[in-house]
Amino acid sequence: MEKQKVDLDFSLEVVPQEHRSGFWRMLVVMLGFTFFSASMLSGGTLGLGLSMTQFIWIVLAGNLILGAYTGALAYIAAKTGLSTHLLTRYAFGEKGSYLSSFLLSATQIGWFGVGVAMFAVPVQKATGIDTYLLIAAAGLMMTGTAFFGMKALAILSFIAVPAIVALGGFSALEAVDSIGGFQALMQHEPKETISMAAALTICVGSFISGGTLTPDFTRFANTKRTSVITTVVAFFIGNSLMFGFGAVGAIATGQSDISEVMFLQGLIIPAIIVLGLNIWTTNDNSIYASGLGISNITKIKKSKVVIFNGIIGTILAVWLYNNFVGFLTLLGAALPPIGAIIVADFFILNRGKYPEFKSMKFKTVNWSALAAWAIGAAGAKFVPGIPPLNGIIGAALVYVVLSILVKKAAASKTKIKVERMTEA
């Protein structure tokens, strides 16, 4: 009898306990996920607009919010063994989950393409190698690790995380020395200030969209404790480090990306290594997550879908880089309400326990979830305050209220029907 092949990505099912990973593997994967070049650009903006004391408090507060949001999603993923896309079936319904999967996947494919170009453009300037050759090579390698799944993501992260910390840390220390040491750094005062609310928005908004995909990785954690701790630690260490590198670089040289700082310092080879690994560890996670999303819609295994997504992202890399970043940022505002609805559905409406996925009969579409998502996304865009928090709180609150009202209306309707049958 032919042995049935196991989908080691578990694209459309629960990750079994025997395929779960321990603390250190999960930690390096999540650290690699949070080592994101765009966070350095955000850190540079904050570094130039805040005093260092204000910068430290904003980064701590922002990563506390990110850690709470992603930690809650990590707990749900470890308990259920399900990806973000499969979890959305409980709240949004089976067909309703296709909207969230499409939005999440399209955004991640877009950022993958932008990331490939973010590597190729500066490397071309430094080395003279053809941009399109660099894009093709980078896209192929980044898609390759995503194709081979969590094991390849873990191996890459084990190599990349220490290398980025060591080389980036050395460059940052050199940059600090160039401005007179840590005392001079702490005495830095901005020429043009930004408000604390705007700074917190930048800090939280830099990675909250990507954070919505946390379950795609933490479902492989062997315990809920491992899942939550590695996620929260990764956001506090990984994201804070990226913000710190960006702030130091911007203050010392005017460049936020540590690889650009290294180019200016004459560290060409280390700069290419750090730039490549930094983007690679985020990009392979992005294209991996996009594969799971399209898999949820098409029911095709992630390993097949990820190749197609990687090719599309690579082909469109330059166009996305030049034309699409603003739209991707706007689209990103629509993602946190999805995670908020998952958290509210699991912890509030289902009291921390979902029915077994395999035997669950999902609604086709849950209109309450779709309405809450739309209102949350609108709140993030139009309501004054901190947009990501507006989206999360608004979507969760509206979803809970609508769900309770719909449940009460259904119960009332059933009661009237029973009473009429009794009278008859």
Query: In this structure, is residue 8 part of a structural domain?
Result: no
Give which of 240, 230, 210, 185 is closest to 58, Cα–Cα: 240
> What is the chain's alpha carbon radius of gyration, rounded to the nearest angstrom?
22
Distances in whole angstroms, Cα of residue 400 to Cα of each of 65, 159, 202: 21, 43, 28
Position 1 confidence tier, pLDDT thresholds 50, 70, 90: very low
Nearest to 110 by CA among 294, 309, 295, 275: 309
CA distances (Å), 170 to each of 24, 32, 59, 224, in order?
Answer: 24, 19, 21, 35
Residue type, 31: L
The three-state secondary structure class of 321 is helix
Position 3 in a domain:
no
What is the domain-level CATH number for residue 262? 1.10.4160.10
Q: Which domain holds residue 89?
A: 17-423
Query: What phi and psi values does residue 221 have, to the nearest 5 degrees?
Result: -70, 140
Task: Tell whether the model's pLDDT for residue 255 goes beyond 90.
Answer: no
pLDDT tens per residue across span 156-167: 999 999 999 998
pLDDT tens by residue, 5-25: 667 789 899 999 999 999 999
Residue 410: pLDDT band with limits 50, 70, 90: confident
Does residue 12 fall inside a structural domain? no
Average pLDDT on 168-181 reads 91
Per-residue confidence band for 328, with pLDDT thresholds at 50, 70 and 90: low
**What type of residue is 384?**
P
To the nearest whole number, what is the mean pLDDT of the chain?
Answer: 90
Per-residue pLDDT at 415: 67
Cα distance between residue 140 and residue 151, in whole Å: 18
Q: How many domains does the chain have?
A: 1
pLDDT tens per residue, range 267-291? 889 889 988 998 999 999 999 999 9
| 11 within domain boundaries | no
Does the pLDDT value for residue 362 go beyond 80? yes
pLDDT digits (tens, 9 = 90+) for 83-137: 999 999 999 999 999 999 999 999 899 889 989 998 998 899 888 999 999 999 9
pTM for the full predicted model = 0.92
SS3 assignment, position 21: strand
Model confidence at 79, in pLDDT bands (50, 70, 90)?
very high
| Helix (H), strand (E) at residue 329 | helix 325-332
What is the DSSP code (8-state) at residue 221? B
Residue 7 lies in a domain: no
Residue 375 inside a domain? The answer is yes
H runs (alpha helix) in 148-239: 150-178, 182-186, 196-205, 208-211, 215-218, 224-234
Contact 103, 331 (CB under 8 A): yes
Domain-located, residue 10: no
Question: What is the pLDDT, as a whole number, of residue 424?
Answer: 58
- Specify whether the CB–CB gap between 188 and 51 falls below 8 A: yes
Express as a percent the part of the chain with pLDDT over 70: 95
Q: Is 101 within a domain?
A: yes
